[in-house]
Structure 1
């Protein structure tokens, strides 16, 4: 059965289910949901705990054996199964179906998995975990950019803090969606804020810049058309001492791949086939992002951007005039969909 994450706390005050499944990709929120279940089991006398990590070499018989064996140390037990791949395989499917069909008494099984998409929830094991009469399935949803300020405000209120809107927005910008970083900064503010009141000056003085700038984040922002965000990441990379050749390598690689895929598509090759034949192939999760970028320009325009990348390379090597950082900025904006041309060529 599905259980809303907001209802978990109230649910745990009553009788516990034999099986709990916490599913999601937001590490902090998943961890806190699992912590709440662990605390509830301890409060209700589940004093023994066993943890299983279901990697590729995991023996699923160990889970069934643990469920069938008598505890030597306690009347009630908590078993934890961590499934980082989100795919149990044939043996895991059989073991999960067998366990869920006849869960042992005085035992709670806590399963933590990444977000299960629609296809995974339609498998035999997925249906057993999501809709089983013996299970409680908790889906943890990410907090998007629009929800983040409200999430921060609620989190601060739970910590006994009151904050101005400017302070909340400043924290949201600085942590860039990193909930763990936001939670850590709020804990820090608990120690530093006078009378539990937080304003922009308090945040400015106390909150470290927890945004994580990396080259692949720059590429994703550019493919998604996020011009302002991509420029902030680029400035962050420069501030962290990342050298222009590293950034250019990543940008040129992406533009070269986009040009190749766009050319194949123009010649009648289905987009999915072009994605699969790309080197390296485009992962399923990245295909929507790459598809979005491909809609901006025809193949010839992507080829021109590749020429711009070559010009930046010459600037880095001192073989051409111009600042390579300006070139990287303009190339990134072009990938975002801003109609700019380093070479002065007209848009196609």
Structure 2
């Protein structure tokens, strides 16, 4: 079966082919990997808490006792029906056991695994991508269209309406983890209530104190050239599960917005009016710092920063790239640009 094509994933997780005995859900979006793991498992077992139908194993347990995988797969449920074996946070440690099982499967259990961002050379990925009885599902970070669909799905049950500016803010600022994003959207829906409406102020306030605030701390520290604050903010972003690509994309968007305001001001528009014209609006806690950034950054330096950030994002998307190292380095390079131009202005006074 090998790797499932992106356009076929939704149909596959709702109804995996009967010949498939094991499914690997992996990728940089850990929340999406867990979500798809759950969806596949539910096609066999309607209750994932049922101890008679569900067996949880770890990669370490399988490595220590490879026979345990076959034993559990061959076991018969006391209540009848197929069993599901879940292997969360799977790694190459269980690759050999999975390879052996897929070459000579026993029983009728379905094995479903979730894993992080496995490189192309990963033994576990190769096992699934090379087996007729296994399937690999890549779970990549949500792009704008994917987040937009997630918003629709999350608000539909309560018939909540969201205003355009509020939707744009969510699309631009929700975290990259599908599970966390879904939770944030559900929180907004419950706040609005049945047939309620979400406006920009409500969304930016409710979401702004969590994922957006973390992202904003990174971006402002970078734009101000504050290395120490940037290191602290990056540590917090990593702890929150923010993806490096999401940080780089947000940083690029910030610099583009600075340039947009600079162009409007050069054309004769007052600074406050130019800032107010941005969509989505500047995060309410960051207006003073954004205004300072417009004045601090020369247009040529903005262009140089954008080049660094776009190049780093492209490098992060290459298979096996050390994405956190690339992200950390490029954000600090932009911070160095900010310090250089700040010192140049002081020297010219």
Name which of 288, 301, 306 aligns with 2:326: 288
1:76 paired with 2:74, answer no
**d(CA) in 1 for partners of 2:75, 2:187:** 45
Q: Could you say if the C-alpha distance between residues 197 and 344 of structure 1 is closer, same or farther in structure 2, counting changes exceeding 3 Å?
A: closer
Q: Could you list the runs of 5+ residues in structure 2 that have no partner in the other structure?
A: 218-230, 236-243, 259-281, 287-320
RMSD of equivalent CA atoms: 4.2
- Compared with structure 1, are the counterparts of its residues 79 and 224 closer, same or farther at alpha carbon in structure 2 (3 Å cutoff)? closer
Indicate how the Cα distance of structure 1 residues 96 and 208 shifts in structure 2: closer, same or farther if over 3 A, else same.
same
Normalised to the residue count of structure 2, the TM-score between the two structures is: 0.58
In the superposition, relative to structure 1, how do residues 151 and 340 fare at CA in structure 2: closer, same or farther (>3 Å)? farther
Residue matched to 2:105:
103
**Mapped pair 1:37 → 2:40:** yes
| Shift, 1:77, TM fit | 1.0
Task: Point out which structure has higher relative CO (alpha carbons under 8 A, 6+ apart).
Answer: 2
Structure 1 residues 100 and 210: CA distance shift in structure 2, 3 A: same
**1:14 to 1:80, Cα distance in 2 relative to 1, 3 A:** closer
TM-superposed deviation, 1:336: 5.7
Once residues 206 and 137 of structure 1 are traced to their aligned partners in structure 2, the CA distance between those partners, rounded to angstroms, is 36
2:53 is aligned with 1:19? no
Quick check: 2:161–2:198 contact (8 Å CA) kept in 1?
yes
Match of 1:161 in 2: 160
Count of aligned residue pairs for this structure pair: 254
SS at match of 2:169: helix
Give CA-to-partner distance per residue, 1:216-238, whole Å, 9 cap, x none: 444879x96938869999x89xx
Give the aligned partner of residue 199 of structure 1. Answer: 199
Distance 2:22 2:252 in 1: 45
The partner residue of 1:62 within 53, 64, 68 is 68
Q: Against the structure 1 CA distance between its residues 229 and 130, is the aligned structure 2 distance closer, same or farther, given a 3 Å change threshold?
A: same
Mapped pair 1:340 → 2:346: no
Question: Offset at 1:207?
Answer: 4.4
Q: CA deviation at 1:51?
A: 0.6
Change (3 A) 1:139 1:337: farther
Q: Using the alignment, how far apart are the partners of 1:7 and 1:224 within structure 2?
A: 29
2:275 aligned residue: none
Q: Which has the larger radius of gyration?
A: 1
- Point out where structure 1 has 5 or more consecutive residues left out of the alignment: 237-282, 297-331
The structure-2 alpha-carbon separation of the partners of 1:202 and 1:23, relative to structure 1 and needing over 3 Å to count, comes to: same
Shift of 1:202: 4.4
More helix by share: 2
